[in-house]
């Protein structure tokens, strides 16, 4: 009971930041509640240095609540439907993800960027922005400054993509009678789901395509999101192997470290969704869990913002932004080249 009371104040503060951030994010989906929450937390932290009895609850929210949110994301994934409808885009997804991860690793070596930040930006750029960062951060033991910096970089290029991609699509000559090509482009080359839907919706509105582009883009994005599972597990294995090699864990290999339980629960949630939908259960049944997941991510981002050192982020932000820009540009170019090779565009 005493431990719970210690966490209550910090969690309540995160909740109070998350509620208006969530509502404002609904009005401005291109920005999103998660970014508003993390920025709000960072601004508050400038004037609130001594958090005292709220600190434990804030840290609990940034770690455990974040893991819970990732688990609940699994209830939004029907594995069979996604794999079936995502076959066409799968080669593009594999190539774009590989491009981003390789670029992140190379630039980490060349530019001497902190390993955790490079990993988070590479994974966030290649898979699904904030959700991928949320899933990866606990596995690699990234601190709140690392997460905040990666989220900020991803957000910057999300906004650029949401604004520029419809214009770029028009310049490149994507079909205006079908949303297929631009939908695949948006789904494979834009980091976060909110910006994917924003760009796809804009393309539909520009050419009166109903929801053709949006449907295609969301399906591709959902297929791409599934890469969270293998990549996070691989990172967990590598982390455990590195710890064992360095001798930093005297107890040797830990199965729990190699297979973080929240990832296992995430997979189980996806399986439950798939089986339930195949048995005739309405997708609407899982909607509240999906919404709760999104809100908990916003709440966790508030906690991460509160734990962040804004001055330090500004001083060290140049290289991560360059890294994020290179990953983003690489993904965009590879997506376009693959579509051209496959005859989609």
Q: What is the pLDDT of residue 271?
A: 87
Phi/psi of residue 134, each to 5°? Answer: -60, -40
Mean pLDDT for all residues in the chain: 83
| Greater pLDDT, 34 or 199 | 199
Please compute the mean of the pLDDT values over residues 206-223 and round it to a whole number: 83
- Tens digits of per-residue pLDDT, 123-155? 999 887 777 887 888 888 888 888 888 888 887
Band (184; pLDDT cuts 50, 70, 90): very high
User: What residue spans of the chain are helical by DSSP H?
Assistant: 2-27, 33-47, 55-60, 66-73, 79-85, 90-111, 115-126, 130-136, 144-172, 180-189, 193-207, 212-225, 228-246, 255-258, 261-278, 287-306, 310-315, 318-342
Q: Which of 206-215, 258-267, 331-340 has the lowest mean pLDDT?
A: 258-267
Band (315; pLDDT cuts 50, 70, 90): low
Inter-residue contact 306 to 44 (CB < 8 Å): yes
The dihedral through the CA atoms of 86, 90, 92, 95 has a sign that is: positive
Q: How far is CA 47 from CA 16, 51, 309, 314, in A?
A: 17, 10, 11, 16
| Greater pLDDT, 181 or 30 | 181
Q: What is the pLDDT of residue 83?
A: 66
Which of 65-69, 119-123, 204-208 tops mean pLDDT? 119-123
**Structure tokens, 220:** 């591709």
| Greater pLDDT, 82 or 245 | 245
Residue 33 DSSP label: H
Residue 325 has pLDDT above 90, yes or no: yes
- Tens digits of per-residue pLDDT, 88-133? 788 998 999 999 999 999 999 999 888 899 999 999 998 877 778 8
Residue 248 has pLDDT above 60, yes or no: no
Residue 256 has pLDDT above 80, yes or no: no
Percentage with pLDDT > 70 across the chain: 86
The Cα–Cα gap between 224 and 226 comes to: 5
Please compute the mean of the pLDDT values over residues 268-291 and round it to a whole number: 86
**Structure tokens, 285:** 């049944």
Residue 2 has pLDDT above 80, yes or no: no
Please compute the mean of the pLDDT values over residues 189-205 and round it to a whole number: 83
Percentage with pLDDT > 90 across the chain: 24
Band (249; pLDDT cuts 50, 70, 90): low
Contacts of 312 (CB under 8 A, 6+ apart): 145
Band (277; pLDDT cuts 50, 70, 90): confident
Residue 199 has pLDDT above 90, yes or no: no
Residue 183: burial class (beta carbons within 10 Å; 0-12, 13-18, 19+): buried
Please compute the mean of the pLDDT values over residues 171-178 and round it to a whole number: 90
Q: What is the pLDDT of residue 251?
A: 44
> Tokens 């958090």 appear where?
51
**Structure tokens, 242:** 């590195």
Q: What is the pLDDT of residue 185?
A: 94
The dihedral through the CA atoms of 294, 295, 299, 301 has a sign that is: positive
Q: Give the largest CA-CA distance in the chain.
A: 63
| Greater pLDDT, 237 or 312 | 237
Q: What is the pLDDT of residue 258?
A: 41
């Amino acid at each position: 009971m005493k431990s719970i009371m210690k966490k209550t104040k910090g969690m309540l503060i995160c909740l109070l930041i998350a509620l208006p951030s969530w509502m404002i994010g609904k009005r401005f989906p291109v920005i999103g509640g998660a970014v508003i929450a993390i920025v709000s937390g960072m601004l508050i932290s400038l004037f609130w240095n001594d958090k005292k009895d709220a600190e434990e609850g804030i840290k609990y929210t940034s770690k455990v609540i974040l893991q819970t949110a990732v688990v609940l994301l699994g209830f939004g994934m029907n594995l069979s439907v996604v794999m079936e409808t995502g076959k066409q885009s799968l080669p593009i997804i594999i190539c774009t993800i590989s491009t981003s991860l390789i670029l992140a690793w190379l630039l980490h070596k060349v530019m001497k960027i902190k390993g955790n930040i490079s990993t988070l930006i590479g994974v966030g750029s290649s898979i699904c922005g904030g959700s991928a960062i949320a899933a990866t951060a606990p596995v690699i033991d990234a601190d709140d400054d690392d997460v905040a910096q990666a989220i900020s970089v991803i957000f910057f290029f999300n906004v650029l993509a949401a604004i520029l991609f419809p214009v770029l699509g028009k310049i490149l000559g994507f079909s205006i009678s079908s949303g297929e090509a631009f939908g695949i482009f948006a789904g494979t080359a834009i980091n976060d789901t909110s910006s994917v839907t924003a760009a796809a919706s804009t393309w539909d509105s520009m050419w009166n395509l109903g929801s053709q582009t949006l449907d295609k883009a969301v399906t591709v994005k959902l297929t791409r999101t599934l890469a969270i599972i293998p990549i996070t597990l691989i990172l967990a294995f590598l982390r455990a192997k590195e710890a064992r090699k360095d001798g930093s864990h005297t107890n040797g290999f830990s199965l729990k470290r190699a297979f973080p339980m929240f990832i296992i629960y995430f997979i189980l949630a996806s399986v439950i969704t798939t089986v339930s939908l195949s048995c005739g259960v309405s997708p609407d049944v899982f909607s509240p869990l999906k919404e709760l997941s999104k809100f908990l991510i916003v709440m966790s981002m508030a906690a991460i913002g509160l734990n962040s050192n804004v001055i330090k982020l500004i001083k060290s932000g140049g290289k991560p932004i360059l890294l994020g820009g290179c990953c983003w540009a690489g993904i965009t170019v590879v997506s376009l080249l693959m579509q051209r090779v496959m005859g989609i565009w």
